[in-house]
Amino acid sequence: MRPRIGVCLVGVALAGVLTVPSGAAVASTGDHPGDSLVVVTDKGAVQGFRAGEVDSFLGVRYAAPPTGTLRWQPPQPAQPWSGVVPATAYGNRCPAAASPNGPRTEAEDCLFVNVQRPTGLERGDRRPVYVFIHGGGLINGSSNQADMAAMVQTTGVVGVTLNYRVGLFGFMGLPQLTAQQGESGNYGFMDQQAALRWVQRNIAAFGGDPDRVTLGGESAGAWSVCGHLVAPGSRGLFHQAMIQSGSCYSHTEQQAEATGTAAATAVGCTDPATVVACLRGTPVGPLLDVTPQNEVLLPFALVRGTPTLPPDPARAVASGQFARVPVVNGVNRDEGRTPAVVYIGSTQEQYIAWVRDNFAANADAVLARYPWPANTDQFTAAYLIGAVITDSGVVSGIGGCAYRRLTRDFARWTQTWAYEFAHRTGPGVAPVPGYVWGAGHAAELAYLFPTFDNGTPIAPTFNAAERRLARDMKRYWGAFVLRGTPNATGLTRWPAYNRTGKVMSLRAGGQSRPISDAQFGAEHQCDFWDNLDNLA
């Protein structure tokens, strides 16, 4: 069953030739390489800046601008540059319509990475590396939403974030492109692979260890992480994985091509013989204007059955056909509260229609399990729809019971830790007066990256208990990156799911604690959902 929820999940998070051999040393003018803010990459030198105990190198080009004939092509190598290029500001965000993840942007020259490291690294230091892929439904989002400074300062890891093409520019399929290239629709995913290869070639120059790279992502970034676990071209580019509020969502080449064909028609590129050239000649603006947003459920996904991504990622994980690296897999207690905000003010009749539209023959069973209450207000439908989305995982497999099934799949094959972000009274992702956001989709990001909300600091609104949770989470994440286990001195022990069936419930004020798989299942009514026929 294809659900018809009229909203896209958004995951938030935040340039003389000087070519040198791969793995170049940190550039230095003294005994402490980290005291130099000039680093020589394989394409040229960049100069970062220091703020407190963190050195930042922002907006470093990792691939050529995907413009002109390079639009809808795999990423191409960046050209070498001469001199020392400033790396003191984030690069352009990739083209996207205005959204909660940021204002409209039409800049196609957007393939940049950012590196943040502790100050004072010694020559030869090789710190473990945490690469984070932002979310946004593969429609929007950017690396500036995940400022790594606080993570780096708290844990001592080297942090990397990256931009990748999104929407029609990153994940549009088209029959004519498929005929030319052997596949189409995975351009943004290929960008991520190019960035990971850049890390392998260059991170040692910044004091990072290319042999200890943890790849993490949230929402669509987490779909991407699962894709990298099964994609042949991603093997060896990372050594551990962290999946936040994600799944192994993908769709077929035919689905990707249908979206592209509709977009081409909408901008007037209808002649099959010239459609590719026509689309490449169309300005960014009109393409953004016809990009499916809220009216179509999750129109973009990784494209399976292609040379880049041969298997269905979900089936590959279930059968053990993936890179069996250590995995942390996590979910938020109230994932559905975020997309359900658009249903504030809906009536009982509209709620019933939504359930029938999404669950067809199973609708009566869902309505009996999640009934309309006697006492209601303007938020009732949103809370009910949010609960159904959360517990079922009906939106691309993100949420309670679908998350538990994926965790069990990982745990059959590799070392796996599981968590649920369960702090339900923090600041909302985009507060609506009176609406209780709970631990909604993306709510955990502010505790890891304090500028996740389009660069606007959220963390200063935290109370003391929430500040404790933010510190604890960064230490758990950092411990996994540093040592391959999310356990650190002074924190409640986080047992491995594959050994104990325990899920770490992350709570404010030092109250985080493991809960049983059975307790998690009861919380999300998994006995019901796991036995419901035809659940998407």
* Secondary structure (3-state) at 386: helix
Q: What is the pLDDT of residues 467-499, one digit of tens each?
A: 999 999 999 999 999 999 999 999 999 999 999
Same domain flag for 279 and 167: yes
- Tell me how many degrees the CA angle 455-195-474 measures, rounded to the nearest 5: 50
* C-alpha to C-alpha distance for 101 and 135, rounded to whole angstroms: 9
Among 9-13, 299-303, 400-404, 531-535, which is the least confidently predicted range?
A: 9-13
Residues with Cβ < 8 Å from 401, sequence gap 6 or more?
391, 392, 393, 521, 524, 525, 526, 529, 530
pLDDT confidence of residue 35 = 54
Same domain flag for 354 and 422: yes
Instruction: For residue 223, name the pLDDT band (cuts at 50, 70, 90).
Output: very high
**Average confidence (pLDDT) over 359-385:** 96
The residue from 317, 349, 369 where one domain ends is 317
In a domain, 21, yes or no: no
**535 vs 73, which has greater pLDDT?**
73
What is the DSSP track for 206-251? Answer: GTEEEEEEEEEEETHHHHHHHHHHH-GGGTTS-SEEEEES----EE
Report DSSP state, residue 105. B
Instruction: For residue 4, name the pLDDT band (cuts at 50, 70, 90).
Output: very low
* C-alpha to C-alpha distance for 243 and 268, rounded to whole angstroms: 39
Residues β-bridged to residue 302: 250
Same domain flag for 285 and 218: yes
* Secondary structure (3-state) at 17: strand
Residue 400 predicted with pLDDT over 80: yes
Mean of per-residue pLDDT scores for the chain: 91
Residue 68 predicted with pLDDT over 80: yes
Q: For the chain, how many helices (H) and strands (E)?
A: 18, 16
Same domain flag for 279 and 347: no
Expressed in angstroms, the distance from the first to the final Cα of the chain is 5
Residue 11 predicted with pLDDT over 50: no
Same domain flag for 92 and 189: yes
3-state SS string for 481-517: HHHCCCCCCCCCCCCCHHHHCEEEEECCCCCCEEEEH
Residue 106: C-alpha distances to residues 24, 76, 137, 145, 205 (Å): 35, 20, 18, 18, 32
The residue from 271, 296, 317 where one domain ends is 317
477: amino acid identity, one letter? W
Does residue 170 contact residue 291 with C-beta atoms inside 8 Å? no
Q: Nearest to residue 118, comparing CAs of 48, 21, 30, 15?
A: 48
Does residue 10 contact residue 141 with C-beta atoms inside 8 Å? yes
Residue 101 predicted with pLDDT over 90: no
Residue 17 predicted with pLDDT over 50: no
Same domain flag for 332 and 376: yes
The residue from 317, 338, 355 where one domain ends is 317
Read off the pTM.
0.92
* C-alpha to C-alpha distance for 395 and 403, rounded to whole angstroms: 11
In a domain, 440, yes or no: yes
In a domain, 2, yes or no: no
Domain that holds residue 414: 326-529
Residue 179 sits in a domain whose CATH number is 3.40.50.1820
pLDDT confidence of residue 121 = 87
Residues β-bridged to residue 88: 58
Same domain flag for 283 and 378: no
* C-alpha to C-alpha distance for 378 and 435, rounded to whole angstroms: 9
Instruction: For residue 458, name the pLDDT band (cuts at 50, 70, 90).
Output: low
Same domain flag for 224 and 135: yes
**Average confidence (pLDDT) over 27-55:** 78
CB atoms within 10 A of CB 362: 18
pLDDT confidence of residue 215 = 99
CA dihedral sign of residues 486, 487, 493, 495: positive
Same domain flag for 260 and 393: no
Number of domains present in the structure of the chain: 2
> Judging by DSSP bridges, how do beta strands 250-251 and 302-303 pair with one another?
parallel
Only one residue has tokens 């799911």, namely 497
Residue 366 predicted with pLDDT over 80: yes
pLDDT confidence of residue 15 = 27
Quick one: which H or E segment has residue 242? Answer: strand 240-244
Sequence-ordered alpha helix ranges (H) in 231-379? 253-266, 275-280, 284-289, 313-318, 348-359, 363-369
Residues with Cβ < 8 Å from 377, sequence gap 6 or more?
none
In a domain, 11, yes or no: no
* C-alpha to C-alpha distance for 72 and 187, rounded to whole angstroms: 7
* C-alpha to C-alpha distance for 385 and 395, rounded to whole angstroms: 11
In a domain, 12, yes or no: no
pLDDT confidence of residue 432 = 87
Same domain flag for 184 and 60: yes
In a domain, 20, yes or no: no
Same domain flag for 433 and 451: yes
Residue 219 CA, distance from chain mean position: 5
In a domain, 4, yes or no: no
pLDDT confidence of residue 427 = 80
pLDDT confidence of residue 2 = 32
* Secondary structure (3-state) at 423: coil
Instruction: For residue 364, name the pLDDT band (cuts at 50, 70, 90).
Output: very high
Residue 76 predicted with pLDDT over 90: yes
Instruction: For residue 428, name the pLDDT band (cuts at 50, 70, 90).
Output: confident
Same domain flag for 373 and 452: yes
- Could you give the percent of the chain with pLDDT greater than 70? 90
In a domain, 214, yes or no: yes
- Could you give the percent of the chain with pLDDT greater than 90? 85
pLDDT confidence of residue 533 = 64
**Residues carrying an active site annotation:** 219, 335
